[in-house]
């Protein structure tokens, strides 16, 4: 490199001295912040363990309560009522049910002589498929000039871009040919 090739730089940046002052107070504050954050993490872990323990205990209490009720209700009212001469009075609720619906029945013993039979339609709260199809229909989309936007079902697919000279994937017609070959072999 010759002296002529060297460029002269107009803006010159001189490094300035940077002094960090460390005193006992700032060191103490940093230690306190570290200790406080460590305690927070530790207490958070303890809280999570306590919460998990409480959840497990509540699950055990619920399970034992469910088992207790299951043990107490060992009477199979459906089997008792299906036998002739059971001697129980069956009160139906509702008195009459609409035909054409599947119903579920629950038997509840009221006292030694009476049983309540509650019947509930199992298809309550469900929409029929016909109603759902009507709700799925959307109004036509309008373009800014007021004409309706055609549905995408009738439009052809846009051409695929060529990426690095790689041809686009084969058309679906080739899959049909493979299926036809497979059928011929079978």
Residue entry with tokens 């199992």: 122
DSSP-derived letter for residue 164 is: T
94-137 pLDDT per residue, tens: 878 778 778 888 888 888 888 888 888 777 666 655 555 555 56
Q: Which DSSP state fits 182?
A: H
Integer angstrom CA distances of residue 12 from 8, 15, 83, 177: 10, 10, 107, 74
* Main-chain phi, psi angles of 48, to 5 degrees: -65, -40
Q: What is the pTM of this model?
A: 0.31
Q: What pLDDT digit, counting tens, does each position of 30-67 carry?
A: 899 999 999 999 999 999 999 999 999 999 888 888 78
What is the strand order of the sheet 103-109 is part of? 89-93, 114-121, 103-109
């Amino acid at each position: 490199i010759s002296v002529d090739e060297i460029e002269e730089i107009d803006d010159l940046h001189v490094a300035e001295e940077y002094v960090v002052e460390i005193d006992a107070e700032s060191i103490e504050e940093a230690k306190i912040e570290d200790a406080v954050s460590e305690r927070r993490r530790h207490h958070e872990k303890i809280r999570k363990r306590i919460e998990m323990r409480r959840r497990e205990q509540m699950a055990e209490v619920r399970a034992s309560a469910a088992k207790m009720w299951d043990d107490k209700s060992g009477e199979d009212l459906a089997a008792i009522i299906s036998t002739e001469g059971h001697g129980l009075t069956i009160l139906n609720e509702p008195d009459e049910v609409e035909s054409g619906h599947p119903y579920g029945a629950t038997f509840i013993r009221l006292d030694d002589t009476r049983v309540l039979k509650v019947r509930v339609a199992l298809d309550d709260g469900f929409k029929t498929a016909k109603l759902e199809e009507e709700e799925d229909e959307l109004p036509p989309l309008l373009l800014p000039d007021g004409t309706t936007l055609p549905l995408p079902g009738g439009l052809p697919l846009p051409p695929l871009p060529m990426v690095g000279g790689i041809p686009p994937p084969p058309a679906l017609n080739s899959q049909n040919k493979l299926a036809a070959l497979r059928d011929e072999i079978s």
